[in-house]
Amino acid sequence: MLAVSDIVKRFGDGDDSLLAVDRVSFDITEGEFVSIIGPSGCGKSTLFNIIGGLVADYDGRVAVDGQAVSGTHPAFGMVFQDESAFPWRSVIDNVAFPLELAGLSRRERHEQARRFVSMVGLDGFERRFPAELSGGMRQRVAIARTLASQPRILLMDEPFAALDEQTRLLLGDKVLQIHQQLRQTTLLITHNITEAVQLSDRVLVMTYRPGRLKRAFDIDLPRPRTSEVVGSDAFGHYVAQIWSDLREEASRGIRDDESRQRNREERR
């Protein structure tokens, strides 16, 4: 369904240029939940923006159903890492935003939006404004708004990164329920191993700078899943395997950061 082939992205020119993403290729089939995991600075978010069409200047090809796409495409719905619920709109009007763009009447769009508000567990909060909600609830508003546009492929860039671990696990349950209900094809960008294993059919591990795909793990845990799966032996086994791959990359990232810091101090 989604085919990403040989994506290369470089920032800047000459000696100071940075190869952020290097020849990344993978496919996602209909209804599949795939996570891309990697240390900070590995180019995950750049890849997310390339696939979503927010970054134009790159090499390689993004295709949906065999058709190359460039720029933003109606097949994709994006959920961002930073809080993105519109503060001036109530929950229901936030969720109804893509339906408003589609030209639906107020009554129709509210009726449809209510279904997605309910799907993310925000019944009763329709008239509230983002400032009156918790961080986790605000991210659920953003997810519901993206789902309301009924994208064929849901792209999520660390949507729970700013939340505490317990909220993150419970929101993971919500995402699992939605995936179960809609059979929504999803690509999740994350740096959280537990989250990746809890939610995914497949986890792709990225290397630290330049971002390449290091390994793919098929997660063979039974569905429907809940956050209770984190207690199982198989879950622990997957987490340990991914961590052994990721550890090397994360350590390289930390060493790189430290040496840059040292260079900066020496230059001072």
Partner 1 sequence: MTRRVPSYAAPALGFATLVAVFALLEVLIRAGAINRFVVPLPSQVIAAIPRIVAEEDIPHRFWQTTQEALWASVMLVVAGVGIGMLMFRFRLLRSACETWVAALASAPVVLMYPLFLVIFGRSATTIVMIGFAAGLPPVILKTVEGLAGTRNVLLDVGRSFRLDDWQLFRKILLPAALPSIFVGLRVGLIFALINIVGVEFLINFGGLGQLINELAERYDLPGTYGAIGFVILVSVLFFVACERAERWLLPA
Nearest to 223 by CA among 153, 173, 169: 173
Per-position x/- string for 116-135, each x denoting binding to partner 1 as judged by CB under 8 A, each - no binding: -------------xxx----
Q: Does 11 bind partner 1 (CB under 8 A)?
A: no
Per-position x/- string for 72-101, each x denoting binding to partner 1 as judged by CB under 8 A, each - no binding: x-x-xxx-xxxxx-xxxxx------xx--x
Contacts of 10 (CB under 8 A, 6+ apart): 17, 18, 19, 20
Cβ at position 189, least distance to partner 1 in Å: 14
CA distance 188 to 80: 10
Between residues 72 and 261, which has the closer beta carbon with respect to partner 1?
Answer: 72
Query: How many chain residues touch partner 1 (CB under 8 A)?
Result: 28
Beta strands in 29-183 (DSSP E): 33-37, 59-64, 67-68, 76-79, 153-157
Contact indicator for 35, 198 with CB cutoff of 8 Å: no
Cβ at position 99, least distance to partner 1 in Å: 11
Q: Does 256 bind partner 1 (CB under 8 A)?
A: no
Window contacting partner 1 (CB under 8 A); options: 8-16, 57-65, 113-121, 139-147: 139-147
Q: Does 152 bind partner 1 (CB under 8 A)?
A: no
Q: Does 160 bind partner 1 (CB under 8 A)?
A: no
Cβ at position 129, least distance to partner 1 in Å: 4
Which token pair is 207?
């290397």
What does residue 209 show for φ and ψ, rounded to 5 degrees?
20, 115
The interface with partner 1 within residues 166-225 (CB under 8 A) comprises none
Cβ at position 261, least distance to partner 1 in Å: 26
Cβ at position 68, least distance to partner 1 in Å: 17
Residue 237, burial from CB neighbour count under 10 angstroms (0-12, 13-18, 19+) = exposed
Q: Does 7 bind partner 1 (CB under 8 A)?
A: no
CA distance 124 to 148: 18
CA distance 22 to 12: 15
Q: Does 56 bind partner 1 (CB under 8 A)?
A: no
Contacts of 77 (CB under 8 A, 6+ apart): 146, 147, 149, 150, 151, 153, 154, 155
Cβ at position 128, least distance to partner 1 in Å: 9
Provide the binding-site residues for partner 1, judged by CB under 8 A.
52-54, 72, 74, 76-78, 80-84, 86-90, 97-98, 101, 129-131, 142, 145-146, 149
